[in-house]
Structure 1
């Protein structure tokens, strides 16, 4: 039944038999048959069927909660047994907001030093995608915003608070400034992250507080693209200090702090709330706590 529950979770996530079958590496008829078998075993209809996937029935919605719980418990059992035999091994999958990738690298490097037999997969995703991936058991943990996010029943470990920098060319009028106000940037040619990124929504909030509307001539889901455009053309971008320093290093660019009534949202590690956590995930949370000691 465990395989069937995992198939059911994939179908509920993608809401399409063909796409779910492709992700699972099986044929669509096989998936349909396994879901029907699961329905027969449970004695209820889980999926509305027509010419295409019609959504989950009320019983299906309830079963999805149990399917996620049972699948997570089974995975934890396997890891606990593997840990008792071999110590910390296996793989951790972590989804990370784009602006926290440098912090993810710090965390993964420190974690790997202490746990060399654990493989790590780091994925760049938006904050909304990270919560969905954790819920659907696609990743084991995430690095995302902890403020004003629907984190639900998650274990959290704060890592740092975002401080924002304007990135400009050495020839920019802002290059020699000690700081720049948000209200001074309303009419400038800006390159910013796309609106689905929480970082962009935070930046838009700062502009609203300053009484201006940002003029984003270029939008991208990649901070690398934003900095490359600043380097190549007459653009400005705004990024958190840590990734701004990393991406600007060795380039003819200047970093200028943003001034005014600035909020500094907290970014941290999040993981499904379980007692106890798997040994590997518990080790990752402890490493995050050590990395963030005295965070500001």
Structure 2
């Protein structure tokens, strides 16, 4: 058994396809398959369910996969610690972000790069559940989004200031929107909203339903960028979390706070707190805490 075999196993779990896993590992598919069969022979158990294509893992494979992820995380941390002993931090910080969280992390990324030139970043748009799964399986270093308080208690977290909800609109709608609109003031406006099933959309639907109102959007998207671009084009008005850097980049777009109760979930950055957080994650949190402490 060697590190490469464990890496191939974990990559197969991520890609769910032998060909894609082989490409991600920069080897041929026969090489990846052969090394995984060698691992199975050495352990004396079948790990992968094979048919004409990848069909998942056996129960034994799932247990070995969980251990492999832990071992790879420890191996990566060991390499990072050796680099840190030499006075440098290197590697790629893997971030999973809920697109609608509107987090502007550019100051944190820039601050960490100024401190450690060898650090890079991989940013993935993900659901909150997928982020937590990625953290638990060591495929992410940092998560950012809306989380329940009891979830935050299981991680090292950095809560963001409560910023509320804003209505973003172009010049055509300015006369129809009060300075601090309430849900009833938005009746009749063409709305650009998050897709149903997303937490923020569920929150909006619930708050409007309490006032006997139903949201009937002209456009839905899971991307704040797309919502704001359509607002800028004059298609309608968007209900989005406050705080997006996009608000300052679209000339003519006005944002006004909407009078709504706070969300039950909390906007936060999260990382593991069980001793398996990478040095990259800790370095990222250190910079983020310093920046937000000064706000």
Scaled by the length of structure 1, what TM-score is found?
0.86
State the partner residue of 1:224: 225
Deviations 1:24-80 (A, max 9, x none): 232222222121111112221112222222221111111121111111011111111
Q: What 5-or-longer segments of structure 1 have no aligned partner?
A: none
State the partner residue of 2:268: 268
Whether contact under 8 Å (1:157, 1:270) holds in the other structure is yes
Q: Distance between the aligned counterparts of 1:29 and 1:228, measured in 2?
A: 46
State the partner residue of 1:209: 210
- Displacement of 1:150 after TM fit? 5.4
State the partner residue of 2:181: 180
SS of the residue 1:119 aligns to: strand
SS of the residue 2:214 aligns to: coil
Q: Distance between the aligned counterparts of 1:93 and 1:146, measured in 2?
A: 19
State the partner residue of 2:282: 282
Q: What 5-or-longer segments of structure 2 have no aligned partner?
A: none
* Distance 1:219-1:176 versus aligned 2 partners, 3 A rule: closer
Whether contact under 8 Å (1:9, 1:68) holds in the other structure is yes
Q: Distance between the aligned counterparts of 1:15 and 1:66, measured in 2?
A: 18
SS of the residue 2:161 aligns to: strand
Whether contact under 8 Å (1:126, 1:196) holds in the other structure is no
The alignment covers a number of residue pairs equal to 294
Q: Please tell me the root mean square deviation across aligned C-alpha atoms, in Å.
A: 2.7
Q: Distance between the aligned counterparts of 2:187 and 2:4, measured in 1?
A: 54
Q: Distance between the aligned counterparts of 1:57 and 1:226, measured in 2?
A: 43
Larger mean Cα displacement after TM superposition, 130-139 or 11-20: 130-139
Q: Distance between the aligned counterparts of 2:42 and 2:278, measured in 1?
A: 30
Q: Trace 1:112-131 onto structure 2 (pairs within 5 A).
A: 112-131=113-132
SS of the residue 2:270 aligns to: strand
Deviations 1:128-182 (A, max 9, x none): 3323433444332121223268568532222332410001122216655122222
* Distance 1:41-1:247 versus aligned 2 partners, 3 A rule: same
SS of the residue 1:156 aligns to: strand
Whether contact under 8 Å (2:190, 2:237) holds in the other structure is yes
Scaled by the length of structure 2, what TM-score is found?
0.86
Deviations 1:68-105 (A, max 9, x none): 11110111111111111232233322222223455211
Whether contact under 8 Å (2:180, 2:256) holds in the other structure is yes
Q: Distance between the aligned counterparts of 1:19 and 1:224, measured in 2?
A: 29
SS of the residue 1:180 aligns to: coil
- Displacement of 1:259 after TM fit? 1.1
* Distance 1:289-1:37 versus aligned 2 partners, 3 A rule: same
Q: Distance between the aligned counterparts of 1:152 and 1:35, measured in 2?
A: 37
State the partner residue of 1:71: 72
* Distance 1:88-1:19 versus aligned 2 partners, 3 A rule: closer
Whether contact under 8 Å (1:96, 1:104) holds in the other structure is no
- Displacement of 1:107 after TM fit? 1.9
* Distance 1:17-1:149 versus aligned 2 partners, 3 A rule: farther
